[in-house]
Structure 1
Amino acid sequence: MNIEILDARHAEAYRQLRLEALEQYPEAFASSYEEEKDFPVERFHKRLTGTDSTTIGAWHESELIGSVTLVYERKPKLQHRANIMAMYVKPSYRGSGIGKELMQQAIRTARSAGTIEQIYLSVMAHNEPAKRLYQALGFEAYGKDWRALKIGQTYYDEELMALFL
């Protein structure tokens, strides 16, 4: 397995992984498969080459099996903060430490920026394995976003977590 920062060369593999995540786990992401399925690969290329975020990928041989994105705040009063977004590991690879390695690389990336003092994330309140992972890495819950997402007539709560570097 290999962990690396994704760039323009990885746009198609990232697109496929992202669409799988959105389709299989709609309650875990604010975006939807329906919104992103028709996005051209160039849109994913821009995501991976922009300066507002860093996307980290986990590879098994030539298959992208997981990713996480670190999004930087750009407003002057918020530049000490970053956000973890779009964390996903393919189901067949869960429990093998890949999620932990992705998150550790995201934390190292934030630290190396030199200006990031804290990292925020939100996780579905019912996703106990993910919450345990984040807690093991030092994230602490600081609140709940009740009914954060609504899919059809079902609401999903999110737990809000932060890590102070």
Structure 2
Amino acid sequence: MFPALATHSTVFARTLPPGLEIRLMRESDLKAYKALRDAMLARHEEAFTSDAAAERGREAASYRSRLSGAGHCLFTLLAWDGRQLLGALSAECDGRAKIRHIAHIVGMMVDEAAQGRGLGHALMQAALALLAQDEALQLVTLSVTRSNTPARRLYERCGFVRYGRLEGAIVLPDGRQLDKDLMVLRLRAPTPAA
């Protein structure tokens, strides 16, 4: 489905500061991915739909489904500085014919120590470039917690526009309800019906 997934493990290295690398997640990365994800969920419960307490008990191997090739139009990109994992982004699609033209960005995260270095933008651009290789894909969606202004602005800079809001989308352990902005980016014009 994605030729670059099979032939290139590193993408967009030329646009990153020296020492940084963005590549597809490998089996050997699962423990580092789980550690980053657990830390981000614990520190930013308002930014993620997943619950930190529930996810903490998951085994690293349970994230194998996020490896490229594990499912239809599914991959996870990781951003590394040497041996330190700084960020991640997953993309997925549904294989059903009527919605096969839509991809979803899920689980975007950049460690606080790496924020402000353009890593989130680089992860998103790498993901969009891989998704654009699939000529059947027309739309890419994501949701972002309404109060997460830096993330929302990043997505807007990448070309996403808000098309709706889901009020009370997540309920935090303390009972607060947070809204999610629903955003979309058009990769290409719709294919005319035959």
Once the two structures are aligned, what percentage of the paired residues are identical?
30
Moved beyond 6 Å, runs of 4+: none
Which residue of structure 1 aligns with residue 76 of structure 2?
55
Partners of 1:131 and 1:62 in 2: how far apart?
29
**1:36 aligned to 2:55?**
yes
Give the C-alpha shift of residue 113 in structure 1: 2.2
Bigger mean CA offset, 75-84 vs 28-37: 28-37
Partners of 1:51 and 1:113 in 2: how far apart?
15
SS of the equivalent of 2:57 reads coil
Partners of 2:39 and 2:95 in 1: how far apart?
29
Give per-residue Cα distances to partners, 1:70-115, cap 9 Å, x unaligned: 0112111010000000000001111110000000011011101222
Q: Is the 8 A contact 1:124 1:157 kept in 2?
A: yes
Using the size of structure 2 for normalisation, the TM-score is 0.82
Partners of 1:10 and 1:153 in 2: how far apart?
34
SS of the equivalent of 2:137 reads coil
**1:141 aligned to 2:171?**
no
Aligned residue runs from structure 1 range 66-81, under 5 A: 66-81=87-102
**Match for 1:14 among 33, 41, 44?**
33
Q: Is the 8 A contact 2:77 2:90 kept in 1?
A: yes
Q: Is the 8 A contact 2:66 2:90 kept in 1?
A: no
**1:27 aligned to 2:56?**
no
Which residue of structure 2 aligns with residue 91 of structure 1?
112
Q: Is the 8 A contact 1:11 1:48 kept in 2?
A: no
**1:113 aligned to 2:134?**
yes
Q: CA RMSD in A?
A: 1.1
Q: Is the 8 A contact 2:145 2:180 kept in 1?
A: yes
SS of the equivalent of 1:4 reads strand
Using the size of structure 1 for normalisation, the TM-score is 0.96
**1:160 aligned to 2:182?**
yes
SS of the equivalent of 1:113 reads coil
Unaligned runs of 5+ in 1: none
Partners of 1:127 and 1:3 in 2: how far apart?
24
Give the C-alpha shift of residue 46 in structure 1: 3.2
Partners of 1:85 and 1:46 in 2: how far apart?
13
Give the C-alpha shift of residue 132 in structure 1: 1.0
Q: Which has the higher strand share?
A: 1
